[in-house]
Amino acid sequence: MTKARENKGQILDRLSRVMDQKMGLGPEGKFFFAPSRINLIGEHIDYNGGQVFPCAITIGTYGLARPNDLGKLRLGSLNLKTFGEVAYPLPDYDNQRGWINYPIGVFRYLEDLGYGQEKKGQGLDILIYGNIPNGAGLSSSSSIELLFAVIFDHFLAGGKVDRMDMVRSGVWCENEFFGLHTGIMDQYVIGFGKKDYAMVLDTSVPSHTYVPFELKGARIVIMNTRKPRALKDSKYNERRSECEKALNILRKDRDIRHLCDLGKEDLPLLEKIRDTTMRKRAKYVVEENIRVKEAVQALKDQDLVKLGRILRAGNKALREEYEVTGPELDAITGAANAHPDCYGARMTGAGFGGCAIAIVKEGAIEDFKARVGSAYKKETGREGEFIISEVGDGARLIEE
C-alpha cells in the first residue's frame, strides 16, 4: 500500500545523472529543496483573514541548478519527463508551456520587484523532482514556486530576496498566471516553515509564531485518497466569492475587514445573510477561526483528546457547511475517525479529493493503515496511500 520512497541521496544522484545526460556537462550544480505542507486546522480561512495552523513537511520538491552561458533557462522535470527552455526576456503566461509557467511567473515577479538586475539575462539549467504524491492537496505547486524562488535568489540576486517577496511571487503566480484565487497559507508556510514546529499564521497581517509540534505517543498520518481533484479549481474560486459576498452584506452593519474579524458573540449577526448557502459558509468561516485558536491551545497543553475532537468538528463542518469534501475524503476520514486509536482525522488543503490527516497512537499505526485502507477500498474501490512524514524546514539551498 505504501510505496518505498527514494531517499534524499538517491534523488540527488538521479538529478545529477539526468542533468549531465540531458543538458550536457557543465559547472557543478547546487541542490535546493522546497517542502510541501499539511494544514492541521484552519481550512479555507486564509482568504478570510483568519488564523491557520499549518506545518512544512519533509517531502517536497528537489532541484538541481547551475548557471549556463546561453542566456536562457533550460528546464526539466523528472516527474513529468519533460524538458523545455525559455529565453530572456521571459515571456508571458502560455497554457501550452505547462509547468514551465512556474519559473517564468516567479522569476518575472521577482525581476519586476527589481531583484537580479546585476545578473540580468544570466542563463540557468534547472532540473526538478518532487516526491509529493501528484494532485494530493499537499501543495506541490507552492512547493515548486518556492523552489524556483530560492534558486532565483541564490544565482541571480546574491541571497538578497526578502522571504516575504518569495512567498508573494508564488501567490502571484497562482492568482495571476493560473487564475486560482488561493490565499497565502501554502507559500507562506513553505517559505517560513521550521523543523519540528507548527506555524500559527495570522493571515490578516500576515505574521506568524511557532508552536513546538510534539504529539506525545502519537504521529500524524497523511492519508491520500488518490482521488483526482477534478472540480477543485472552479469550486475553490466559487467558495471564495461566496465569502466575499457574505462579507459585503455584513459590512452594511459592521465595520469589518474580514469575516474572521467576527467572534463567537457575533454569530447572531449572520442572520442578516438571507441566502442560506452563503450564511452556512460564513458560519463555517467564523467557527473555523475559533477552532484554530482552541487547537493551538490543545497542542500547547498536549491534550490530544481535545485536539482530536476539534479536528473532527472541523472536518464535519467542512463536509456539511463548507461542502468541500466529497465521497472519497468522507470515506477515508470516516474510517479513520472510527478507528479506536485515532484521536481525530480531517481533510487537509483545498479538499474535493486529495489528502486527509489523522493523529494516531504510535503503537497502532500499522493496524490503522490496514483497517482504514481496507474500509476505504471497500467503500470507494480505490487504494489509499498512507504517508508518515516529519515536520521540516522551509525552502532552502540544501547542498553545495
User: How far are the Cα atoms of 26, 146, 182, 223, 241 from residue 193, in angstroms, in the given order?
Assistant: 33, 12, 19, 21, 29
> CB of residue 345 vs ligand GLA: minimum separation in angstroms?
16
Pairing of strands 30-39, 396-399: antiparallel
> CB of residue 333 vs ligand GLA: minimum separation in angstroms?
15
> CB of residue 341 vs ligand GLA: minimum separation in angstroms?
27
How far, in whole angstroms, is CA 229 from its chain's centroid?
Answer: 14
Which backbone phi and psi does 342 adopt, to 5 degrees? Answer: -100, 120
Q: Which stretch binds ligand GLA (CB under 6 A): 10-18, 98-106, 183-191, 216-224?
A: 183-191
User: Given candidates 46, 111, 328, 385, which one binds ligand GLA under the rule CB under 6 A?
Assistant: 46
User: Contact between 349 and ligand GLA (CB under 6 A)?
Assistant: yes
Name the catalytic one among 186, 202, 255, 275.
186
Q: Which stretch binds ligand GLA (CB under 6 A): 145-153, 181-189, 248-256, 378-386?
A: 181-189
Q: Where are the beta strands (DSSP E) in the chain?
A: 30-39, 51-52, 54-68, 72-77, 82-87, 123-130, 197-202, 207-212, 218-224, 342-347, 355-361, 385-387, 396-399
User: Contact between 44 and ligand GLA (CB under 6 A)?
Assistant: yes
**Is 202 considered catalytic here?**
no
Q: Looking at beta carbons only, is 354 or 392 nearer to ligand GLA?
A: 354
User: Contact between 350 and ligand GLA (CB under 6 A)?
Assistant: yes
Q: 309-348 mask for ligand GLA (x: CB under 6 A)?
A: ----------------------------------------
User: Contact between 43 and ligand GLA (CB under 6 A)?
Assistant: yes
206: preceding bond cis by omega (within 30 degrees):
yes
Query: Given 3-state DSSP classes, what are the helix, strand and coil percentages for the chain, each rounded to the nearest 5?
Result: 45, 20, 30
Q: 130-169 mask for ligand GLA (x: CB under 6 A)?
A: ---------x------------------------------
Restricted to residues 22-41, the positions that interact with ligand GLA (CB under 6 A) are: 39
> CB of residue 192 vs ligand GLA: minimum separation in angstroms?
15
Residues 6+ positions from 343 with CB-CB distance below 8 Å: 218, 304, 305, 307, 308, 311, 358, 359, 360, 361
Q: What is the distance between the alpha carbons of residues 171 and 268, in angstroms, rounded to a whole number?
A: 34
Q: What is the distance between the alpha carbons of residues 135 and 150, in angstroms, rounded to a whole number?
A: 23
Number of residues that bind ligand GLA (CB under 6 A): 12
Cell, residue 15: 538529478
Cell, residue 385: 496511500
164 in Cβ contact with 201 (< 8 Å) = no
User: Given candidates 183, 193, 344, 373, which one binds ligand GLA under the rule CB under 6 A?
Assistant: 183
User: Contact between 288 and ligand GLA (CB under 6 A)?
Assistant: no
User: Given candidates 153, 186, 242, 288, which one binds ligand GLA under the rule CB under 6 A?
Assistant: 186
> CB of residue 182 vs ligand GLA: minimum separation in angstroms?
3
Q: Looking at beta carbons only, is 42 or 392 nearer to ligand GLA?
A: 42
Q: Looking at beta carbons only, is 2 or 134 nearer to ligand GLA?
A: 134
67 in Cβ contact with 59 (< 8 Å) = no
Residues with a known catalytic role: 186
Chain residues binding ligand GLA by CB under 6 A are 39, 43-44, 46-47, 139, 182-183, 185-186, 349-350
